[in-house]
């Protein structure tokens, strides 16, 4: 029976509508199911939060965000990844804060050293010195073995957190870094597919599919999965030989250009300044890893040998040209070619970004402009001197840009001064040496697989410090922080507190957000006579953790300075959180401070409280005496003592010369004050004024200092200031003379 033809228009419309609904449901149902699975996976806690920034989980640090320790999972499926540096920043950006984000890979991470030698940490302190009125936040986002694809993925997330500037040093990993054309961690040649993969990795469902495929592949492969043994540097490489100018080479360069262009465009749109650096390599002392000659062209090795010949003949300009040509022809591309620097230059001009002339800086600090082992640890990672140079180059470009404001460069310590007083030690140098030697036992440093060797199994330590450094290389799970504490304890037991302090200082630079590091360093500084720095570190520790110990120590330092008002404030704050067995100690110091400051009513109230708790035996107050100048920082103690001896022999000019020379190594207020006093005796009023006024805030409660100021102003004919200083001298001299207790360690 034939069906009847439906001529009713309403029925036809209804059928068409039903078909449309069916098609919509057919399309939406899979999406709804996928969304449902995604929600279930999130509720079940499956997968990882792969955002670049996460809330700090540590107690007391909840208001801070940090770089996600596991963000590397997003970019590395086959190999291990480094956790980013432990930088933190406030989720709500405070007023008067200048926030910088730093982007890059292993060089920016500080390899082969620890985090205390990352150029960003060095730069951070320098900027704080240059702009004391600003709070500087520096956030290093680097991960080893990433390239511009990862940086582009980072950029969008960084721009959400109100950066005032972005610093970039990147380009060496475009071939073998994650998603590079020659990498084992890749999504193929299609840039769009790679970008889509990175977007989808934020979904738990996609992570589930990825993890399932990876697990299945591993199970199918079994034990004979063709695993490549050796360093991460070796294992990351799938296609090692990439000829200069080849299709793969051009593709990598184009990807770098596109990705970096997009990063700078995003920054432009939000009006965020970008400081992008040229790249540097070891061209003088690192021969090409591999040399392939095509179509009759010179090989990289042949060009390298020509460069050596030109250098021996004294033709340094020609040698420079040939060394860079040899590096560019090296078909194992761990060192960026100069095409990368040309792209950086073009993009900086296009986007009006600030370009850091790093190549020029390193060349000017190398013999005959030939960058080699003088500034590099191996093929491309700067040594300690090189990291300070990097920080210095960024520093001057930032200062010159005036984006933070005006800096008084005359008051900022030099690069050499900062390096000499920075927190690093022999442990850091040895760690770097061992890590580099480990690299050099494998490809590409050794091209014959049969000659590869594992440095871990053949090296024998030569000293206690060397043994600790090597133990970290042999067993990477060891915490360098623990090794430093062991070493500091070792030095203290052997009467070498100066060396112990260097380890505590290094701990501060490794973990500048942990209060106990500042307290430990400050406590040792008390023994070493550096009270100004101890005070600064105790105060810094309170930014991260409230502490009775820190507040009490701060009060004691103010007490020694005869700054009794600030001493009382600190003692009262300490008393509020003091353990029961420490309350009497704090109350006694508070009482003496009131007596010395002439606050009779408050002194009587404190005395009554001491009597109430049966501590009336402490009411006997020793005579008041100014002792702050007895504490001389250990860094310049020998020079200060010699200068005092010479001054006693009326050899003031010699004493001043020694003291001024000591300031090149360490700026000590005691030394500066002595220069001012000696210059006044010699009637060099200009120099006297410079140094006396510079140290006035440090010694203004010393009656002898006020008397010296009165003499200085009288010599200038400044009657008003002379009388003011004399009155202050008389006020401070009132009362009998002390012998305050020398600070004892009491943790």
Residues 344-354 have pLDDT tens digits of: 999 999 999 99
- Residue 546: name the closest of 580, 566, 516 by CA: 516
pTM of the prediction?
Answer: 0.89
Residue 36 has pLDDT above 70, yes or no: no
- Residue 151: name the closest of 259, 243, 248, 303 by CA: 259
The larger pLDDT score, comparing residue 595 to residue 220, is at 595
Matching CATH topology for 527-621 and 628-733?
Answer: yes
pLDDT on residue 741: 41
Q: Are 608 and 504 in contact (CB under 8 A)?
A: no
Report domain 628-733's class.
mainly alpha
- Report the half-sphere exposure of 507 (CA within 13 A, side-chain side): 25
Q: How far apart are CA 489 and CA 16, in angstroms?
A: 84
Q: Are 513 and 86 in contact (CB under 8 A)?
A: yes
DSSP characters for 603-670? HHHHHHHHHHTT-GGGG-PPPP---GGG---GGGHHHHHHHHHHHHTT-HHHHHHHHHHHHHH---HH
Report the pLDDT averaged over residues 223-240: 63
DSSP state for residue 236 in the 8-state scheme: T
CB count in 10 Å sphere of residue 315: 14
Burial group, residue 363, by CB count within 10 angstroms (0-12, 13-18, 19+): middle
Could you tell me whether strands 135-140 and 274-277 are parallel, antiparallel, or unpaired per DSSP bridges?
unpaired
Sequence-distant (≥ 6) Cβ neighbours of residue 743 within 8 angstroms: 526, 553, 556, 560
DSSP state for residue 376 in the 8-state scheme: B
pLDDT on residue 220: 57
The b-or-e profile of 214-224 (16+ CB within 10 A means b, else e) is eeeeeeeeeee
Banded model confidence at residue 38, pLDDT cuts 50, 70, 90: low
- Residue 358: name the closest of 241, 238, 413, 276 by CA: 276
CATH, domain range 527-621: 1.25.40.10
Domain coordinates in residue numbering, the chain: 54-220+230-281+336-356, 423-513, 527-621, 628-733
pLDDT on residue 739: 40
Strand partners, 137: 99
Burial group, residue 175, by CB count within 10 angstroms (0-12, 13-18, 19+): buried
Residue 206 has pLDDT above 70, yes or no: no
Report the pLDDT averaged over residues 112-120: 97
Tokens 């550096």 correspond to 530
477 three-state secondary structure: coil
Sequence-distant (≥ 6) Cβ neighbours of residue 432 within 8 angstroms: 112, 113, 377, 383, 384
Radius of gyration of the chain (CA): 32
The b-or-e profile of 665-685 (16+ CB within 10 A means b, else e) is ebbbbbbbbbbbbbbbeeebe
Banded model confidence at residue 199, pLDDT cuts 50, 70, 90: confident
Q: How far apart are CA 705 and CA 124, in angstroms?
A: 35
Could you tell me whether strands 53-55 and 64-67 are parallel, antiparallel, or unpaired per DSSP bridges?
antiparallel
Residues 411-420 have pLDDT tens digits of: 788 999 999 9
198 three-state secondary structure: helix
Could you tell me whether strands 165-169 and 274-277 are parallel, antiparallel, or unpaired per DSSP bridges?
parallel
Residues 696-707 have pLDDT tens digits of: 999 999 999 999
Q: Are 288 and 323 in contact (CB under 8 A)?
A: no
- State both tokens at 655: 């004493």
Report domain 54-220+230-281+336-356's class.
alpha beta
Q: How far apart are CA 543 and CA 553, in angstroms?
A: 15
Q: Are 380 and 444 in contact (CB under 8 A)?
A: no
Q: How far apart are CA 209 and CA 215, in angstroms?
A: 10
């Amino acid at each position: 029976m034939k069906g009847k033809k439906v001529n009713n228009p309403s029925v036809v419309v209804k059928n068409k509508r039903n078909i449309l609904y069916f098609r919509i449901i057919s399309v939406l149902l899979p999406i709804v199911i996928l969304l449902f699975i995604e929600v279930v996976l999130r509720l079940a806690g499956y997968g990882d939060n792969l955002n670049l920034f996460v809330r700090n989980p540590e107690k007391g640090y909840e208001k801070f965000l940090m770089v996600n320790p596991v963000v590397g999972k997003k970019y590395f499926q086959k190999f291990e990844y480094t956790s980013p540096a432990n930088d933190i920043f406030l989720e709500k950006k405070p007023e008067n804060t200048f926030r910088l984000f730093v982007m890059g890979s292993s060089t920016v991470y500080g390899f082969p050293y620890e985090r205390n030698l990352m150029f960003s940490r060095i730069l951070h302190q320098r900027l704080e010195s240059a702009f004391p009125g600003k709070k500087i936040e520096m956030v290093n986002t680097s991960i080893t073995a990433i390239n511009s694809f990862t940086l582009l993925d980072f950029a969008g997330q960084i721009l959400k957190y109100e950066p005032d500037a972005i610093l970039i040093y990147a380009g060496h990993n475009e071939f073998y870094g994650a998603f590079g054309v020659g990498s084992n961690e890749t999504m193929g040649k299609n840039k769009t597919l790679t970008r889509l993969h990175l977007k989808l990795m934020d979904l738990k469902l996609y992570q589930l599919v990825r993890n399932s495929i990876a697990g299945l592949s591993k199970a199918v492969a079994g034990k004979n999965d063709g695993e490549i043994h050796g360093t991460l540097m070796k294992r990351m490489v799938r296609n090692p030989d990439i000829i200069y100018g080849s299709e793969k080479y051009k593709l990598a360069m184009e990807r770098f250009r596109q990705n970096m262009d997009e990063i700078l465009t995003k920054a432009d749109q939000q009006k965020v300044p970008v400081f992008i650096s040229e790249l540097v390599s070891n061209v003088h002392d690192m021969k090409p890893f591999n040399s392939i000659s095509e179509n009759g062209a010179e090989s990289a090795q042949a060009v390298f040998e020509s460069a050596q010949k030109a250098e021996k003949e004294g033709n340094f300009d020609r040698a420079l040209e040939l060394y860079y040509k040899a590096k560019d022809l090296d078909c194992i591309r761990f060192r960026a070619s100069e095409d990368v620097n040309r792209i950086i230059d073009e993009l900086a001009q296009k986007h009006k970004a600030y370009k850091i002339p790093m190549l020029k800086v390193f060349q000017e600090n190398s013999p005959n402009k030939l960058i080699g082992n003088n500034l590099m640890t191996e093929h491309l990672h700067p040594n300690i001197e090189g990291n300070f140079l990097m920080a210095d180059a960024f520093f001057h470009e930032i200062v010159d840009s005036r984006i933070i404001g005006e800096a008084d460069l005359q008051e900022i310590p030099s690069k050499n001064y900062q390096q000499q007083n920075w927190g690093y030690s022999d442990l850091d140098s040895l760690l770097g040496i061992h890590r580099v030697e480990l690299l050099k036992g494998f490809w590409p440093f050794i091209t014959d697989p049969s000659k590869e060797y594992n440095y871990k199994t053949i090296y024998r330590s030569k000293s206690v410090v060397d043994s600790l450094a090597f133990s970290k290389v042999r067993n990477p799970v060891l915490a360098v922080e623990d090794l430093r504490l062991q070493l500091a304890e070792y030095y203290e037991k052997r009467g070498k507190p100066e060396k112990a302090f260097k380890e505590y200082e290094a701990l501060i630079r490794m973990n500048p957000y942990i209060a106990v590091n500042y307290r430990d360093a400050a406590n040792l500084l008390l023994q070493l006579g550096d009270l100004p720095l101890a005070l600064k570190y105790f105060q810094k520790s309170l930014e991260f953790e409230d502490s009775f110990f820190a507040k009490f120590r701060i009060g004691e330092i103010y007490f020694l300075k005869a700054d009794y008002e600030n001493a009382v404030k600190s003692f009262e704050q300490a008393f509020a959180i003091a353990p029961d067995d420490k309350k009497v100690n704090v109350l006694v110091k508070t009482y003496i401070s009131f007596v010395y400051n002439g606050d009779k009513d408050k002194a009587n109230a404190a005395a009554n409280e001491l009597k109430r708790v049966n501590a009336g035996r402490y009411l006997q107050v020793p005579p008041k005496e100014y002792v702050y100048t007895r504490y001389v920082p250990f860094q310049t103690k020998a020079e200060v003592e010699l200068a005092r001896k010479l001054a006693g022999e009326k050899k003031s000019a010699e004493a001043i010369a020694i003291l001024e020379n000591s300031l090149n190594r360490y700026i000590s207020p005691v030394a500066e004050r002595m220069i001012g006093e000696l210059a006044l005796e010699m009637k060099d009023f200009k120099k006297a004024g410079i140094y006396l006024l510079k140290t006035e805030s440090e010694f203004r409660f010393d009656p002898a200092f006020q008397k010296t100021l009165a003499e200085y102003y009288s010599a200038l004919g400044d009657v008003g200031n002379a009388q003011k200083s004399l009155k202050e001298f008389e006020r401070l001299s009132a009362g009998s003379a002390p012998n305050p207790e020398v600070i004892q360690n009491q943790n």
